[in-house]
Amino acid sequence: MFIGAHVSIFNGVFNAPANAAKIGCDAFQMFTRSPQGGPAPELTESVVKKFKAELKKHKIHEFYIHTPYYINLASSRNRIRYGSINVIRDDMERGSKLGAKYLMTHLGSATDLGPKKALEKVKEGVKKILDGYKGTTQFLIEMSAGAGNIIGDTFEEIAAIIEAINNGQRATSDKPTIGVCFDTCHAFVSGYDLRDAESVNKTLNQFDKIIGLEKLKLIHANDAKSDLGSHIDRHEHIGYGKIGREGFYALIRHPKLHAVNLIIETPKDSKNIDDIKILKRLRDENKASR
């Protein structure tokens, strides 16, 4: 189990590995472009070579890409929907060039279509993203917090999208076409309890029954400032929120999650390093007890 954080690519993606190493990351997550919009910086041969050299220098095991904030596969406006499809596919190709293991994305909001039509648009969009894709970076749906009409805040919605991509069949391959990034804060405020071992087991059993734990590829480890089922997406430092340290220890101890890596997206302040240290300590305690 590797533990890391989302890090900056300021002044070039090749700076991300050093930024990750400074705060004690085994792995990291990054954007490859501005999350607010604009053209993506070119990944020239020299940029890619320098990035990979920095990975090796700082002994970073894996890294992942997060898509920009403006993605909306559920929009009724073709410019937004097709623009989102193109950006995600481009980021997957960029990830393959750099060597990213996963790309995760939010799906968008159903505000102007209604939930049923929006879900169908999302299914169509994901199919277009993956159509003809031959790269090595795997597509992950990030579970959302469900504020407003956001798509992807329930296990049932995520399963419906995955099943649509797999033509209605639950894939059993160890390399499925599509996977899931499980965000602890988002899941908690969407109503999935994670505060202790019993609730973690219940939630993961539900995930396994509806989606399949083989699809859970990455965890965003974020405590939650808001209450269970509140649908308010506000991340907190590990152990300082409504989930609490016991919940994260239960996740780390779960026998089916030992190979799933954790990435923090907690508030950007001096406690980021403490979050990584806490999770590493819980991981090491679990290793020692096995």
CB 193 within 8 A of CB 228: yes
| Residue range 75-82: mean pLDDT, rounded | 93
Instruction: Give the pLDDT confidence score for residue 172 in this predicted structure.
Output: 42
Out of 55-59, 129-133, 171-175, least confident range: 171-175
> pLDDT tens-digit profile of 80-105?
999 999 999 999 999 999 999 999 99
Query: What is the distance between the alpha carbons of residues 192 and 229, in angstroms, rounded to a whole number?
Result: 7
pLDDT of residue 268: 87
Confidence of residue 9 (pLDDT cuts 50, 70, 90): very high
Confidence category of residue 281, pLDDT binned at 50, 70, 90: very high
State how far Cα 150 lies from the chain centre.
16
- pLDDT number for residue 174: 40
**Hey, what's the torsion of the CAs at 220, 226, 229, 235, to 10 degrees?**
-10
User: Which percentage of the chain shows pLDDT scores above 90?
Assistant: 84
**Strand-strand pairing, 138-142 and 102-105:** parallel
Name the band, by pLDDT with cuts 50, 70 and 90, for residue 287. Answer: confident
Q: CA–CA separation, 244 vs 97, rounded Å?
A: 38
Residue-wise pLDDT for 158-205, tens only, equals 999 999 987 644 444 444 479 999 999 999 999 999 999 999 999 999
Domains of the chain: residue spans and CATH: 3-289 (3.20.20.150)
This model's pTM is above 0.85? yes
